[in-house]
Structure 1
Amino acid sequence: MSLSRGRPYLAIPGPSVMPDAVLNAMHRASPNIYSGELIDMVASLLPDLKRVACTDQEVAIYITNGHGAWEAALTNLFSRGDRVLVPATGLFAHGWANMAERLGVSVRRLDFGRRSAIDPAEVEAVLRADRTHSIKAVMTVQVDTATSVRNDVRGLRAAIDRAGHPALLVIDCIASLAVDEFRMDEWGVDAMVAASQKGLMTPPGLGFVFFNARADRAREAAGLVTPYWDWRPRATPEVFYQYFCGTAPTHHLYGLRAALDMILDEGIGAVWRRHATLARGVWAAFDAWGRAGGMEMNIADPAMRSHAVTTIRAGGDNGRRIQDWTARHAGVTLGIGLGMETDEDPQSAASFRIGHMGHVNAHMVMGALGAVGMALHALEVPHGPGALEAAAGVLAEGVTASRRS
């Protein structure tokens, strides 16, 4: 017997759960790509994307995934031989740095490991030592989905400013946009990359690069820019096809329109608060389970944890066992351990991840936690009591506090 019959729940850190409204918007015949409603609808996307990113600057849309958005940002900002500083807190900042190196950019990495956030003071020290201002940009991720760390973007800008350095601040918000608080203009971010499949609740296939005037001035001298990745015609096209350097990704755009309508109807501040509350509920459950000593959250400090995903260290091969059990018997797919290998812990099988981003609510999160609790019992993984009660209490208090305010 299996208890997995019924609607499955993909509780991974992207692609996230797709709302029915998004899927329904995409379930339509192909539109005319030369005139009519598509042209007007795309024009409406740009200001709404900017509202989600809290910016008045420019945005370019690409038919790509997050890695393509990485490359778009790199090719518009840099030339071969340019130097960048990459503070890394997990898998994905290193991945972006690797891509930059393959394009001929010289990368200096500050590796903060897999269990802590970036220390802005160390970034400041490196920039103060760069008296010739040879470092063109500080480039990192706001949230690393492998480790579930969340970095202080505002603190990084403050570190750059204290050093009196002209470096651009370039941020990957692929996992965090429309989940964790992000204010591009207020926080002094010069360029930001994002993708459709996480907080934006749209199937994988769209990438975004937001950029301000300082970043666009760097584009003037960028030797890596190519016709396809060039952000200028996409952000300010003379004719419609330049938005996408060819045929538009029509059905993704209809889905994105529906997703943005949902986000803006809720309000971006309410979206951030919902994700923060749901994340605290998840943390409360794992705090309770971890009291038996067999399990812990990868990021100990709650202030450094993502509101999009939580990475759990379960020991041995328990991460893989728990993930396999919930998928087979409860209909809940958890995220695999990713990028967590170390000399002391050589197997990602020891960890798993639970995504809580995008189109998620209290009963979905409680259901996923209930499935994890079932697996812990069935697999006899040591765990403390009271996890679901703790999560329910945090979520209930979150609702009460919201109503008071």
Structure 2
Amino acid sequence: MTVTPHLFIPGPTNVPDAVRIAMNLPMEDMRSPEFPKLTLPIFEDLKKVFKMKDGRVFLFPSSGTGAWESAIQNTLAVGDKVLMSRFGQFSLLWVDMAERLGLKPEVCDEEWGTGVPVEKYADILAKDKNHEIKAVFVTQNETATGVASDVAGVRKALDAAKHPALLMVDGVSSVGSLEMRMGEWGVDCCVSGSQKGFMLPTGLGILAVSQKALDVNKSKNGRMNRCFFSFEDMIKTNDLGFFPYTPATTLIRGLRASIDLLLAEGIDNVVARHHRLASGVRAGVAAWGLKLCAKEPKWYSDTVSAILVPEGVDSNAVTKTAYYRYNTSLGLGLNKVAGKVFRIGHLGSLDEYMVGGVLFAVEMALKDNGIPVKLGSGTAAAAEYFTSNPVKSATSKEPLKA
């Protein structure tokens, strides 16, 4: 019997039926006079997801990496000094991109399992009296290690130093799942992708840009050469509801349905749901006697848990067992933590039943690989957490009605 595989990697995430159905349509004319009726409201509603006060959102037919590149190319120049930190595979890759595009990063290398060093950033920014640093980079959620960082804290550091640098945030595995208050936190470029909290297939690079960053784009001399990821080309056509090249029309249809789901639930409630479900996963991990890669609770991510296996166990064996024996996909350990961790993605279209399912599969995969977990311990701990912490609205103390 064929059963749908159980997907619990931190992206691509599960696509809700409403989103999948919205994409199941014939190809359409992306230059028809009707197309702006779809796109113009999407541009505005995306601002609600990012909680922007001004600026605009761009949609590129790319992964989040393309949006990374666009943010850099349109606001910075070759040779610009930037402040970055490296503490996992994806923060590492963003540093690599910055270097390859000709920036000069001052890099804080941190232990994997920790995140953005806000105190170090504050000290560096306070000492940069001549404002040589043109941008400060924050990976809000490091998917490789299950670590979330304090964007608001970085904004406070910038404000305390009275520093004008742009604040650039990688929100690929956080926007639509973790708290993002782009306007309140003074974020200038926030990068996301369709395959995470937006619950779509891979293929849309989503970039939210503040008015400050748009102004820098207009005024800065010596900016990088760019074409495909140009703000200017996008703005000319987006204002009319179109794109400078063929857009991913099917994904944009799905994005409309995804945004509708997020706004109907309420962004604050989406964030609260992710925290509650992640807490259930963490209760299960503790019941197994295992530890997270994240060093302290302040670093815990609500979208992905990277779980350390005992010495002498290859985490790749656990993920292979889960895949081949229990039809369940888990995230692999990457780079420095390869073979040391496996990852449970718990973001997007997710509920308690699904959390219980992945914990059930992981328990068996762990046991099969000689890790002495008590079967049922993790699922029981999660169930106990969920029943002791009923669903609540972010704006009410009363449980939500089913």
The interval holding the TM-score normalised by the smaller chain is over 0.9
User: How far has the Cα of 1:247 moved from its partner?
Assistant: 1.4
User: How far has the Cα of 1:331 moved from its partner?
Assistant: 1.4
Give the structure 1 partner of residue 286 of structure 2.
287
Paired residue secondary structure (2:381): helix
Give the structure 2 partner of residue 382 of structure 1.
372
Paired residue secondary structure (2:107): strand
Alignment partner of 1:256 is 2:255? yes
Of residues 185-194 and 113-122 in structure 1, the stretch that sits farther from structure 2 once superposed is: 113-122
For the 8 Å contact 1:115–1:149, the answer to whether it is kept is yes
- Report sequence identity in percent: 35
Give the structure 1 partner of residue 146 of structure 2.
148
User: How far has the Cα of 1:87 moved from its partner?
Assistant: 2.1
Q: For 1:323, which of 313, 319, 328 is the aligned residue?
A: 319
Alignment partner of 1:334 is 2:330? yes
Distance change (3 Å), C-alpha of 1:193 and 1:238 = closer
Q: For 1:81, which of 79, 82, 88 is the aligned residue?
A: 79
Deviations 1:156-196 (A, max 9, x none): 00011112211111100000001111100011111111111
Q: Which ranges in structure 2 are unaligned for 5 or more consecutive residues?
A: none
Alignment partner of 1:13 is 2:10? yes
User: How far has the Cα of 1:38 moved from its partner?
Assistant: 2.5
Counterparts of 1:50 and 1:140 in 2: how far apart (Å)?
Answer: 20
Paired residue secondary structure (1:296): coil
Counterparts of 2:294 and 2:2 in 1: how far apart (Å)?
Answer: 34
Counterparts of 2:21 and 2:238 in 1: how far apart (Å)?
Answer: 31
Q: Which ranges in structure 1 are unaligned for 5 or more consecutive residues?
A: 342-347
User: How far has the Cα of 1:303 moved from its partner?
Assistant: 2.4
Paired residue secondary structure (1:180): coil
- TM-score relative to the length of structure 2: 0.93
User: How far has the Cα of 1:129 moved from its partner?
Assistant: 1.7
Give the structure 1 partner of residue 28 of structure 2.
31
Distance change (3 Å), C-alpha of 1:24 and 1:114 = same
Any residues of structure 2 matched to 1:230-241 within 5 Å, and which?
230-235=230-235, 237=237, 240=240
- CA RMSD, Structure 1 to Structure 2 (Å): 1.8
User: How far has the Cα of 1:144 moved from its partner?
Assistant: 0.6
Deviations 1:307-362 (A, max 9, x none): 11000111334311111111112111101111334xxxxxx122110000101111
Counterparts of 1:400 and 1:138 in 2: how far apart (Å)?
Answer: 37
Instruction: Name the aligned partner's letter for residue 287 of structure 1.
Output: A
Distance change (3 Å), C-alpha of 1:225 and 1:215 = farther
Alignment partner of 1:244 is 2:234? no
Counterparts of 1:91 and 1:238 in 2: how far apart (Å)?
Answer: 33
Paired residue secondary structure (2:361): helix
Instruction: Name the aligned partner's letter for residue 224 of structure 1.
Output: M
Any residues of structure 2 matched to 1:84-163 within 5 Å, and which?
84-163=82-161
- TM-score relative to the length of structure 1: 0.92
For the 8 Å contact 2:332–2:342, the answer to whether it is kept is yes
Counterparts of 1:340 and 1:238 in 2: how far apart (Å)?
Answer: 41
Deviations 1:12-66 (A, max 9, x none): 0001111111111111111122224422111111111110100132111111101
Give the structure 2 partner of residue 344 of structure 1.
none
Distance change (3 Å), C-alpha of 1:396 and 1:223 = same
